[in-house]
Amino acid sequence: MNLYFEDFEVGEKFSTPGRSIFNTDIVNFVGLTGMYEDLFCNLEYIEKASAFKKRIVPGALTLSVSVGLFSRTGWFDKTGLALTGFRKINFINPLVPGDTIRNECEVIGKQESERRDGGILTLQVIVKNQRDEDIVSYQTLGLMAKRG
């Protein structure tokens, strides 16, 4: 079900489906992005010298998966015209392989766009794990289609 700019109200809250993140996701992401840091690729370093003493998920991977979770709602498939920005990205707690994340979202802004066929929707997003711990918080801005 596609939702349009007009369908959202400031203060409205919603959640996305969840997704687990595995070691395979980390390996693929590190290879794709070139983030070959010991913190993500060297198990001996991770266990003996890292602050966490266990493998963690790169923050950029967590953010990327979080953005992808919006597509699982079906709300933005044909009406999400463009991702226009991020604000106030904060990495709060580490995520470890096997954790499952979901987005808890609130509409915090709606702004008319120069484009008559769309408007800017601003969401406050809190990424939570299966223990309901806050992992990442950010604001995302997107150009949404209007009806008609």
Question: What residue type is assigned to position 67 of the chain?
Answer: V
What pLDDT, on a 0 to 100 scale, did the predictor assign at position 77? 85
What pLDDT, on a 0 to 100 scale, did the predictor assign at position 61? 97
What pLDDT, on a 0 to 100 scale, did the predictor assign at position 97? 95
CA 107, distance to chain mean position in Å, is 15
Residue indicated by tokens 């963690």: 56
Tell me how many domains the chain contains.
Answer: 1
Measured CA to CA in angstroms, residue 71 lies from 5, 29, 68, 132 at distances of 16, 19, 6, 21
pTM to 2 decimal places:
0.89
Per-residue model confidence as pLDDT tens digits over 104-128:
999 999 998 877 789 999 999 999 9
CATH code of the domain containing 80: 3.10.129.10
Q: Which residues of the chain have pLDDT under 50?
A: none
Domain residues for the domain of 111 are: 5-145
* Contact in structure between 112 and 34 (CB atoms under 8 Å): no
What pLDDT, on a 0 to 100 scale, did the predictor assign at position 116? 77
CA distance 18 to 52: 24
Q: What are phi and psi of 24, to 5 degrees?
A: -60, -40
